[in-house]
Every structure is written in structure tokens, then in C-alpha cells.
Amino acid sequence: MTILLALLIDRFLGEPPARLHPVIWMGQYLEHAGRRLPDLPPWLALPAGAVAWAVGAAATVAGAGAATWLVSDLPAWLELVLLAFLLKPMFALTLLLSEVAATETALREGLAAGRARLGSLVSRDTAELEPEQVREAAIESLAENLSDSLVAPLFWFLVAGLPGAALYRFANTADAMWGYRGRWEWAGKVAARADDLLNLIPARLTALALLGADALRRDRRTVLAAEARRTASPNSGWPMAAMAMALGLRLGKPGHYVLNEGGTAPGPEDLPRALERARRAGLGLALLAAVVQVAMAEVIIHV
């Protein structure tokens, strides 16, 4: 029931204030701890980055564990409510959908507005993108972040409770801030690899959900795996390729990869289609997670 209540909180209350948001706290730690890491020589940057990551991860897990312990002695209904409020900041489905939808709204106002809005979603340079490329990037971000912002936190919540969800959110935030090549090649290597590891299963679950009924066909799963390997990331290509295949679209990043090359370029009607696909897939997996949570609780009670 914790997951169901957290989903309702996400839908109707949204994100907590920034000053109370644990992911903001994680970002503040990472910004402070990483201030000088990229300037270190590689032989020192790698272990220093690993230690800084480990300290933040340990503090995150300890804080989530302490919060879980503090509410565990409360009446069951109050424990449920508080745990749901603690879980909610670890995922953000409603925010993700609204941010991606805002890109299409801005694009209809003008190409410059669409490019600017997209810049809040992706790290790539948006200054020269054409309208279909803006939509491509927005749909890719939607698919990738459906895993990062919803499926993975709930998956790790099922595996290890609130500490598991919090650890994932810390790792994903660290990868977003430290996991770049260039200056962060060595200092951010542990952050990038940890995020890769924690996303291995969630990314593939997300892809199967986005693919829908076609996921039952072995030939379509084979194509999905081949398409996913076109990207450099071991994980992000899976949900992006699945979205491209499900909608019959060509998605890609200029100079890097093309997914579902035989598909059509995204048009004005395709971003709403992608949003609806993501909403259904995300809610389907979230509800499945809620069922699994209830089943696990029943097993524990009867053991």
C-alpha cells in the first residue's frame, strides 16, 4: 500500500518544497564534495571520487534507514502514511510528464522557445536543433527518465525498502552531476558505473513495458536488444529504442546513434502519443510493484 499512496501523493501533491527535498540535499552534497575533484590528477581523482561517492551513499542509506526505524513503532496506518511521504521524493512521474509536455507547448510557440525548454531536460546543445530534433530529444529523455525517475526507485524500494530507493536516487543524481567524460572522466567514474549497475534491470523492465504486447514476441525482443546496443550507454538505449519501436518513430542524437532508422521523424502529434505511452507503461509497472509489495508483506506475515 505504501507505493499506491506514494503514487497518489505524486499525482495530487507533487514535489515537496526544495528546502525539504532529499534529492536537493543530495545535489548540494555532491556539488560541495565534487568542487575540486575534476582538477585532481587521474591517479588521485579516481579514489577521491570513489570515497566522496561512498560517503554520500552511506549517509543517504543511513538517513533513510533511520527514518524507516523511527516510523516503524508508530500505529500501522500512520507508519504507512509517513513512509509513503518519505518514498514520494524518490520518484517523480507527474513532474516528468509535465516537463516533457511543456516542451511541445513551448515548441508550438516558436522554435527558440522549444529549444530553450528542451534545455532543461537534456544535456546536449539545443541551439541548432530543428523542430523534429527537439521532439526526438524530448521523447528520448521521456523514455530514459521513465526508468530513472520512476521504475528504478520503485524497483529498489521493493528490493531494499526506503534505503534502497534512496541509494538509487543518490547514485542517479551523482551520475547526472559527476558522470560525464572530459574533466570528470576519472573523478566521476565510480558514480557512472554505480548508476549503470543499479539501472541494469529497471531499464529493461521499462523497455518491455513501453514495447507493450510486442514484448511477448521473441523477434521483437531481439530487435529491441539490437537497437539498444546502438547507444553507448548499457541502459538508456533500452527504453529509448522501445519507445521508438512502439511509436514507429526514428529517434537519435546527431553524430552518435539512430534508433529504429526506418521510422518516421517525430511530428506535432507524436510527443502527446509518447506521453500517453509513458504514462500507461509507468503506471502499469508502478501498480505491479504495489501488488508485489502486498504479496511480499503477506508472505512475511505467514512465515
| Cα(92)–Cα(153) distance, integer angstroms | 10
As a whole number of angstroms, the distance between CA 267 and CA 269 comes to 5
Write down the pLDDT at residue 303: 58
Q: Give residue 254's pLDDT.
A: 83
The closest alpha carbon to 10, from 66, 97, 92, belongs to 92
207 with 148: CB under 8 angstroms? no
**CA pair distance 79, 120, nearest whole angstrom:** 36
Q: Residue 251 gets which letter from DSSP? A: E
More confident residue, 34 or 299: 34
Residue ranges per structural domain of the chain: 1-302
Report the C-alpha dihedral over residues 248, 254, 256, 257, rounded to 10 degrees: 10
SS3 helix, strand, coil % of the chain, rounded to 5? 75, 5, 20
Lowest-pLDDT range, 104-113, 192-201, 232-241? Answer: 104-113
pLDDT-based confidence at 302, cuts 50/70/90? low
What pTM was estimated for this model as a whole? 0.95
Which residue did the predictor score with more confidence, 129 or 4? 4
Torsion of Cα atoms, 211 then 280 then 270 then 117, to 10°: -120
The pLDDT of 52-72, averaged and rounded, is 97
Average pLDDT over residues 235-245: 97
pLDDT tops 90 at residue 184:
no
What is the pLDDT at residue 259? 97
Q: What backbone phi and psi angles, to 5 degrees, belong to 123?
A: -95, -15
Residue 145: closest CA among 238, 227, 226, 269: 238
Q: Decide if 303 contacts 167 (C-beta within 8 A).
A: no
- Reported as a single tens digit per residue, the pLDDT across 108-167 is 999 999 999 998 888 778 888 899 999 999 999 999 999 999 999 999 999 999 999 999
Strand partners, 252: 258
